[in-house]
Structure 1
Amino acid sequence: MNWYPYGEHAPFYYGEKKGIYEKHGIALEIKAGQGSQKTVQATGAGQTDFGWADTPALLAAVDKGVPVKSLGVYLQTTPASVQSFESEGVAKPADLKGRTIAGTAGDALARTFPVFLRKNGIDPAEVKVQNTDPAGKMAAVMSGTVDGLMGFANDQGPTIASKSGKPMSYLRYADFGLNFFSNGLLAGERKLQSDEEIVEKMVAATSESWTAASSDPAGAVASMAGASEQLPANDVLTEQFKATLELLHTPATEGEAPGVNAEADWRQTIATFKEAGVIEEAKDPAEYWRAPAGQG
């Protein structure tokens, strides 16, 4: 995974518990990650069979020659957002002027934040960014030392709301003109070349698991019981998974199975991260994405 278990990961646990992976001939072992960048590198190096990671981390790795490819992005509407307590009154990008926002230097959120601001007519110099590690962002918001944080709407916000008892608001990039791909399934080139059959089975099982979990959110969340000592509370998991289900498609893929991508969306994502400086060269989608036969 990209991180320790949280609500977004429920379909994997659900698919394993319901025998979906087993039906496809896969004995699934789910391991926590330490960030998308490390997951992408480990997958490219063959240290794990498959990874679940953020698309910009994949793009950056391929840009540096890491032999890895996406098998399909599931979170096709970015959860990237500026999150703050409702009491801060941040309802539109212009409300960020003069504010201090916590971010993590060098990650995809921090790299795309200036793009988001400029797209909405704001000079990035008008918003102060306080850099900290991922865990420190939440602490900074809860202590009131910053006005908000850059994060995934299906991750930190529900946790902060649960711990503080205060409602959160979300300034979602996608609601204000900037969308790009987020998390998806990936495999190393060596796995793609040496075991095409298991790759096909993994793709089919994962898409089926996400479809099934989407139809049974309560069961999906319940399937995560005991997954980790760091597992969020059940109400937080429920909110995280609910928010995740809103991210599965773009207008180009509405009605398609989870994980089915449109080439035009790939091109938009690639162009965005070229503009943000995450990649030096905007390559063809086929360099990053193994499209199923007849797709892309």
Structure 2
Amino acid sequence: MRRLSIAAIAAAFLVTATACGGSGSGGPAGPGGTGEGASGGTARVTVGIIPIVDVAPLYLGEKKGFYASRGLDLTMVTAQGGAAIVPAVVGGQFQFGFSNMTTLMIAQSNRVPVKAVANGIATTGEQGADFAGLTVGKGSPITSAKELEGKKVAINTLKNIGDTSVRESVRKAGGDPAEVDFVELPFDQMPAALAGGRVDAALVVEPALATVKSQGGTVIASSYVDVSPDLTVAMYFTSTQYAQRNPETVKKFQEATAESLEYANRHPDEVRRILTTYTKIPESMLPNLILPRWPARPDRASIETLAKLGEQDGTLGSTPDLDTLLP
């Protein structure tokens, strides 16, 4: 497996879709990408990911040979969030990507040609014990999401699953979600921003969550759980063109990813260890990580709840067609 790193891709969904027309992402595409007819029976595919705990199963699956045994040669490419990955997949730079459900629903409702192909990650469903937490820094007087009115809250991508879920935490705590001031920061920069007082709170995921806690920070809400205790947070996806033109490669990716998710669920210690290969988390903090769930299938009811909240708060301009988006 080859690993690359990119800056966040600045193209907007609609601009990308217009530029691509109907032609961009089928067949051979992307950095080293190959289609169905690759020589030697190996398809080289590039997957856009975020360097967080969510994608550990992909790294484990590659290490265990789940993808190679099906003739897939993976390149991992890192980005700040799904909003950067979607245009790269639609534009043919990547064959597959990892993105939260709100990003995918925004894209689909705006007629960006994306198709979810494999489940990604789900919340643990436990308040105060989820892999994602709405946190405040050491010594903060804030003890409830209600107190975030007029405060600065860091999320990794604006107008996305982060602000949607934080708003729901504020709403459930009795506050006005419209009064929260959101700022965009990469997950790995959030611990320092909290410690330095540059933000009042941050929605962080592992392994950044463990870092915040090690610095004396605390979790005041589990925002993903507030949306739904069964929330499907993210999925792996491709472009509709690539799926239509490369059905066998997509099927192989689905099968290998399903095996990887199952393996990750059964081997939490290996999940923790592999995190040190693509994140900066010290080994001493590995035992403190809260791991998510990696179910075989998405929970549609939870995705529908997320969509309704997105429409309510103005993140989604129209109702997404989940029948078309989901596998």
TM (norm. structure 1) is 0.78
Q: Does 1:272 align with 2:291?
A: no
Q: Residue in 1 aligned with 2:159?
A: 106
Q: For residue 264 of structure 2, what is the amino acid of its counterpart? A: A
Q: For residue 243 of structure 2, what is the amino acid of its counterpart? A: L
Q: Residue in 2 aligned with 1:244?
A: 292
Q: Is the 8 A contact 1:153 1:172 kept in 2?
A: no
Q: Does 1 or 2 have the higher relative contact order (CA < 8 Å, sep 6+)?
A: 1
* Mean CA deviation greater in 27-36 or 206-215: 27-36
The counterpart of 1:193, out of the listed 238, 241, 244, is 244
Q: For residue 69 of structure 1, what is the amino acid of its counterpart? A: K
Q: Is the 8 A contact 1:89 1:95 kept in 2?
A: no
Q: Is the 8 A contact 1:7 1:236 kept in 2?
A: no
Q: Is the 8 A contact 2:48 2:96 kept in 1?
A: no
Q: Residue in 1 aligned with 2:296?
A: 259
Q: Does 1:121 align with 2:158?
A: no
Q: Does 1:62 align with 2:108?
A: yes
- Residue 58 of structure 1 deviates from its aligned partner by 1.0
In 1, Cα distance between equivalents of 2:110 and 2:321: 15
Q: Is the 8 A contact 1:7 1:239 kept in 2?
A: no
Q: Does 1:211 align with 2:249?
A: no
- Residue 238 of structure 1 deviates from its aligned partner by 5.3
Q: Does 1:223 align with 2:267?
A: no
- Residue 275 of structure 1 deviates from its aligned partner by 1.6
- Residue 67 of structure 1 deviates from its aligned partner by 0.8
Q: Is the 8 A contact 1:2 1:34 kept in 2?
A: no
- Residue 234 of structure 1 deviates from its aligned partner by 2.6
State percent identity of aligned pairs: 23
In 2, Cα distance between equivalents of 1:98 and 1:47: 40
The counterpart of 1:93, out of the listed 132, 135, 145, is 145
* Mean CA deviation greater in 68-77 or 86-95: 86-95
- Residue 26 of structure 1 deviates from its aligned partner by 1.7
Change (3 A) 1:140 1:224: closer
Between Structure 1 and Structure 2, which shows a larger proportion of strand residues?
2
Mapping of 1:117-156 within 5 angstroms? 117-124=170-177, 128-129=180-181, 131-134=183-186, 137-149=190-202, 151-156=203-208
Query: Residues 236-280 of structure 1: CA distance to partner in whole angstroms, max 9, x if unpaired?
Result: 45544x3323xx4xxxxxxxxx23124333322322222222222
Q: Does 1:171 align with 2:221?
A: yes
What is the alpha-carbon root mean square deviation over aligned residues?
3.0
Q: Is the 8 A contact 1:141 1:148 kept in 2?
A: yes
In 1, Cα distance between equivalents of 2:250 and 2:182: 41
Change (3 A) 1:215 1:269: same
In 2, Cα distance between equivalents of 1:137 and 1:277: 25
Query: Residues 11-43 of structure 1: CA distance to partner in whole angstroms, max 9, x if unpaired?
Result: 111111111112222222222123211111111
In 2, Cα distance between equivalents of 1:155 and 1:67: 32
- Aligned-partner SS, 2:320: coil
Q: Residue in 2 aligned with 1:234?
A: 283
- Aligned-partner SS, 1:48: coil
Gaps of 5+ in 1: 249-257, 291-296
- Aligned-partner SS, 2:292: helix
Change (3 A) 1:2 1:34: farther
Q: Residue in 1 aligned with 2:58?
A: 12
Q: For residue 175 of structure 2, what is the amino acid of its counterpart? A: I
In 2, Cα distance between equivalents of 1:147 and 1:218: 33
In 2, Cα distance between equivalents of 1:174 and 1:111: 9
Change (3 A) 1:192 1:96: same
TM (norm. structure 2) is 0.71
Change (3 A) 1:143 1:3: farther
Q: Is the 8 A contact 1:101 1:146 kept in 2?
A: yes
The counterpart of 2:135, out of the listed 69, 83, 88, is 83
The aligned length equals 272
